[in-house]
Structure 1
């Protein structure tokens, strides 16, 4: 288990681990809590929401559809209630202000976040410029140095460049207000559904195949490659900048689209919970992991 640091402000990759118990151990360490405090939830009485639009998107990828079915069945076999008819998830991705006024997708904290992370570890003897200079791909450097809006090429606000200026505080205040409003509408969605967690697939279609190092390194092929990959995750991407916990789990289901190469790829699911309910989410995920394993062992 480990952590991939990139940005301490937004778009953090979070932890990767072999089991949910490993994630629980890391969370306990970060929170200063005993690892023994993290135990699988009792799923009896837990209510799970499956948004209708995500169920429809899963139809585009047999692996995702099967993964959802397996997870829902595992929840139900352990006593949880799965509601397959809750309203669409998509409105949760939209800031509650007119698009032309919204700053949510216009502010880039990549450079600021990376610089803050590096400065928080002075013994590394690294600078942001030095780290970016060693990046494998020129296009990756642009994500930090000259960020642009997805699809349109419109320049984003690089918040690092505004640091120390009055404008920084003004922009950040508006950005934070939008984030808080989106977190509130996400929490209301769960309350209205009477749900503890939301269950979705990991992608909105078959996962995109990886390309060669040369294709990643060539700006002419990097853009289409990244946009093609991002399209598979677009319905989730709108929540990237919010303090909303989510966790991905593999299932016995497989993506078998031929262009992946190398054989079938595990198809997983995502669980979502309210802000500040990380521990609850982890404990539900631990229980789901066990329920999936038990169901698989019976076959």
Structure 2
């Protein structure tokens, strides 16, 4: 399978339909590779029996659809009725939801085969995927197993980067599909959320272990933009995104997103921009000077207050009985997540919540809307993370890191700096591969656009990827 792992999802599906390979052989190869690479801790559970049974149905012609026989991986905070949904935390290790999350169900209805539930930062409350729950363990970056893959969807990104599967599902609250995509040379989409109404691209209410109903969303991840676009088309029932020529496309380059970068990341990102400019893209160098300050008035207030109601609502909607928010908090194994749940259970941000959600978030959204409108932009372009993957801290879960040899700074805040504001504004964002550092670590570029521009971002991503290429396979 090592020689065929550079194929896309569409190519695998075409080979199955043409009878060049069987669904069973494709699924079995993916499961075997997952077993061989179990040291990556990409999975919490493999679905060998269930996946092979589904593949046999595809080969027999009783399981059909545009994704029939395609192996996918699913983050273990997304509800599955046939497998536990643990959230990577002890109290939920054996929790079995009553039904599949709607986004996943659409993929299953189209014939996709779930080969396993992927590991994550415990309860998705972190950006490293260094899960210290004893049944999970830290996820390791396939490009350097001493380093993090990013999070919280690190298991999904690691499985895809390791060529176990071409694509799968993660979730994103403040960067959890895009940060791991950037650090593992893969692609991650955070779809439009807006204010949670009709503008929300995927509707999975109370069917994903929550942090924040305002910010949470499922997001497709893949080795290529085409893989992500395929899942998105099935999940939305809309036409498959097609390439959009870059000539004349206006991309905002705000200085705030481009400041304080790791030297290698900046070199890769600037070189990528030069290639896009040569292809006809118009790079608009106008800053958003108040953005990060405004984002700080929204971010943690929302994420550390809404779980108080959202987690019990998910437990009830999932039919999970005998487990409470207090039980979950008491069982948390990762020290950094223990700290977060201390703020949640004491409602440390409760007094600031109404102002954050009713006043400060609309101001943040207006900053984006004005910037995009006044500069005639198609999207905003920036490095997804300001630094490449740091070394795993197996004592904390998050820990600290250094940028350019400077003082140690919190890993969490450093890695979400560029992804968090768009999340809080409800915008769609697409992270794709930009190049490699001198140490052989992937670098990601992100496109953020106005609410509802998801298909256009994917179309731009297809054209950008055609110019910048895809990441080379890791040496495993």
- Is 1:71–1:288's contact at 8 Å kept on the other side of the alignment? no
Partner of 1:259: none
CA deviations on 1:36-74 (whole Å, 9 max, x unpaired) are 43112222221111122333433xx12211231233133
Partner of 2:310: 113
Partner of 1:229: 411
2:242 is paired with a residue whose SS is coil
Offset at 1:17? Answer: 2.4
- Is 1:64–1:205's contact at 8 Å kept on the other side of the alignment? yes
> 1-side partners of 2:333 and 2:449: how far apart?
35
Query: What are the ranges of 5 or more consecutive residues in structure 2 without an aligned counterpart?
Result: 1-167, 172-207, 402-407
Q: After superposition, where does 1:72-221 map in structure 2 within 5 Å?
A: 72-83=273-284, 85-87=285-287, 89-95=288-294, 105-107=300-302, 108=304, 109-122=306-319, 128-147=325-344, 155-157=348-350, 172=354, 175-205=357-387, 207-212=389-394, 215-216=395-396
1:52 lines up with 2:255 in the alignment: yes
1:2 lines up with 2:197 in the alignment: no
- Is 2:388–2:442's contact at 8 Å kept on the other side of the alignment? no
1:146 is paired with a residue whose SS is helix
> 2-side partners of 1:103 and 1:280: how far apart?
27
1:27 lines up with 2:203 in the alignment: no
> 2-side partners of 1:62 and 1:184: how far apart?
32
TM-score by structure 1 length? 0.70
Partner of 1:67: 268
1:57 is paired with a residue whose SS is coil
Offset at 1:112? Answer: 3.0
> 2-side partners of 1:69 and 1:103: how far apart?
30
TM-score by structure 2 length? 0.46
User: Does 202-211 or 186-195 show the bigger shift?
Assistant: 202-211
- In structure 2, the CA distance between the partners of 1:19 and 1:138, relative to structure 1 (3 Å rule), is same
- In structure 2, the CA distance between the partners of 1:135 and 1:255, relative to structure 1 (3 Å rule), is farther
2:252 is paired with a residue whose SS is strand
Offset at 1:205? Answer: 4.1
Alpha carbon RMSD of aligned pairs, Å?
3.6
Offset at 1:131? Answer: 4.5
Offset at 1:156? Answer: 1.7
CA deviations on 1:206-249 (whole Å, 9 max, x unpaired) are 5432212xx126xxxx6657962034236423444220111211
- In structure 2, the CA distance between the partners of 1:104 and 1:216, relative to structure 1 (3 Å rule), is closer
- In structure 2, the CA distance between the partners of 1:254 and 1:224, relative to structure 1 (3 Å rule), is closer
1:252 lines up with 2:414 in the alignment: no
1:42 lines up with 2:245 in the alignment: yes
CA deviations on 1:99-151 (whole Å, 9 max, x unpaired) are 9xx56643432343334344443379865455545533144144235249xxx
> 2-side partners of 1:91 and 1:285: how far apart?
27
Partner of 1:165: none
Q: After superposition, where does 1:276-295 map in structure 2 within 5 Å?
A: 276-293=452-469
Structure number with the bigger relative contact order (C-alpha 8 A, sep ≥ 6) is 1
Offset at 1:188? Answer: 0.7
> 1-side partners of 2:242 and 2:355: how far apart?
38
Aligned partner of 1:265 among 441, 454, 463: 441
> 1-side partners of 2:451 and 2:463: how far apart?
20
> 2-side partners of 1:141 and 1:13: how far apart?
23
> 1-side partners of 2:317 and 2:457: how far apart?
28
